[in-house]
Amino acid sequence: MLNTSTNKGRLITLNASSIKLLPWLGNTFIDALSPVFSATSLIFFLTYTINCLGNETDSAIQKPGQESVVESFDKIWLKANEYYYSESLRKRQFTDEKYLQLKAQAKQKNNIHEFSPVFNEFLKSLNVSHTQFYTSNDIDFYFFRSLFSTREINKPKVFHIGGQFKQVNNQYIVREVLDGYPLDQAGIRRGDIIENVDDGEFHPYLSFNQTIKPHYRLRINRNGRQFVKSISPVFENPSYSFAQSVKHSAKIIKLNDKRVGYVRLWTGVHADVLQSFTQVIKTQFESVDGIILDLRGGYGGAWYEYIDPFFTNRQAYFNYSVIDKAGNRKQYTAEDKNNPSPFLGPMVVLINEGVRSGKEALSYQFKKTNRALLVGEKTMGAFVAGRGIFNEEQDYFLYLATAEYFVDDIKIEGVGIKPHVAVAYPLSKSLNHDPQLNRALVEISKLLNDK
């Protein structure tokens, strides 16, 4: 069922049983989301998709007005216990004892934002991807809102500085920098630590959306050396920013007498991203000798149509299968499609620990067919389907793994995809160069010379 209401207090539930693209699904869901998604990306959503395998509306957690932390926890726990796909793990982890422990902690919290880290520690113990609790203090919350609530790539807008971060010991380390966005423009790079903002505690969302100012001062720790950078946030939805960053990243790199196209695919969850990506390949890279496709960081969601530009047809594409909570398994193959003008030259694909979900399927396809050389580090191994529940009145979002996915009967969840050429790019140090990209240039030069 699809509930499209965005009124305060209404729950938004998207039910994958109404997606037209899978054999047992109907038309409602794809008709509603066709302005947002390209056809097969609607299926693979694997990262940050709302793929609900049930058939009912989650009216049980609809409640206008302010609910207590304990009331919110009870509803969250009920849904997590009900829909989590691993029955054996559910029985071991969703115990009465654990419920009472978490409820006692909920009673001590003033609001759902304070309780969020507590519940996420529990969800983390399940050791399964696509299982997390988000509140309106999380930047990812607004990414989801764009995809599955407003269904517009740039709504709702929030202030942000164009980066992904890893929090370690209450410090935010820059993990990825979006091309053409404030962090990139300020020269901030992977491995830098953001010590504070305007001499106050840094937070990727709260720092820029509580007190609105045109400029902020970031104190950066780079390998022990501290300095200050002035930065001006953008007012965009992160989903829109990822689409723009794909275009910003595209460039031609000259290697002696050869021309190599480089583009970074940050995510594949919106039709606008696919359009930007394919436009780069078809126009800017029309006469290049080789391509470096950078899949590092961002989100997942990309599927068959993102690899179509590099194959003549889909005959060698992977199959995929879905195993639901009840243990039912369904197998799917790629629909026939020919590409009259694919790029068939040498390719290198960059991967790292931030590559997840649908983009892991792309990595798998490039590797299994030897279509491209994979350089970097093993992917995240985050490859399941998830069920998502928004509660707009209470401003929280519960995301749960609801089914297992396999490609060619191979498990990627918890395993990942290994590169052909392993190159480390640790967060423990801020480097003035990108060792993985540098190695990719070396490898594609070899491929071009051997051509």
One-letter identity of residue 385: A
One-letter identity of residue 6: T
Q: Is the pLDDT of residue 357 over 50?
A: yes
Domain 158-236 CATH class label: mainly beta
- Confidence tier at 171 by pLDDT (50, 70, 90): very high
Exposure string over 13-26, b if 16+ CB within 10 A, otherwise e? bbbbbbbebeeebe
Q: What is the pLDDT of residue 393?
A: 64
pTM of the full structure = 0.86
What is the rounded CA–CA span in Å between residue 394 and residue 430?
39
Q: What is the pLDDT of residue 35?
A: 35
Q: Which helix (H) or strand (E) holds 384?
A: strand 384-391
Provide DSSP, 306-374: GTGGG-SBSTTPPPEEEEETT--EEEE-PPP-B-SS---S-EEEEE-TT--THHHHHHHHHHHTTSSEE
Q: What is the pLDDT of residue 299?
A: 92
Q: Is the pLDDT of residue 416 over 80?
A: yes
Domain 238-320+334-383+411-450 CATH class label: alpha beta
Q: Is the pLDDT of residue 429 over 80?
A: yes
What is the rounded CA–CA span in Å between residue 301 and residue 270?
8
Least trusted range by pLDDT, from 28-42, 85-99, 141-155, 378-392: 28-42
Tell me if 346 sits within 8 A of 366, measured CB to CB.
Answer: no
What is the rounded average pLDDT for all residues in the chain?
A: 86
Q: Is the pLDDT of residue 45 over 60?
A: no
Q: Is the pLDDT of residue 129 over 90?
A: yes
Q: Is 139 left (phi over 0), alpha (psi -120 to 50) or beta?
A: alpha
Q: Is the pLDDT of residue 275 over 60?
A: yes
Q: What is the pLDDT of residues 61-71, one digit of tens each?
A: 334 457 899 99
Domain ranges (residues) in the chain = 11-150, 158-236, 238-320+334-383+411-450
Give the Cα-Cα-Cα angle 425, 430, 433 (nearest 5 degrees): 65
Q: To the nearest whole percent, how much of the chain has pLDDT over 70?
A: 84
Q: What is the pLDDT of residues 80-92, one digit of tens each?
A: 888 888 788 888 8
Q: What is the pLDDT of residues 69-122, one digit of tens each?
A: 999 999 999 988 888 887 888 888 899 999 999 999 999 999 999 999 999 999
Nearest to 85 by CA among 354, 357, 329: 329
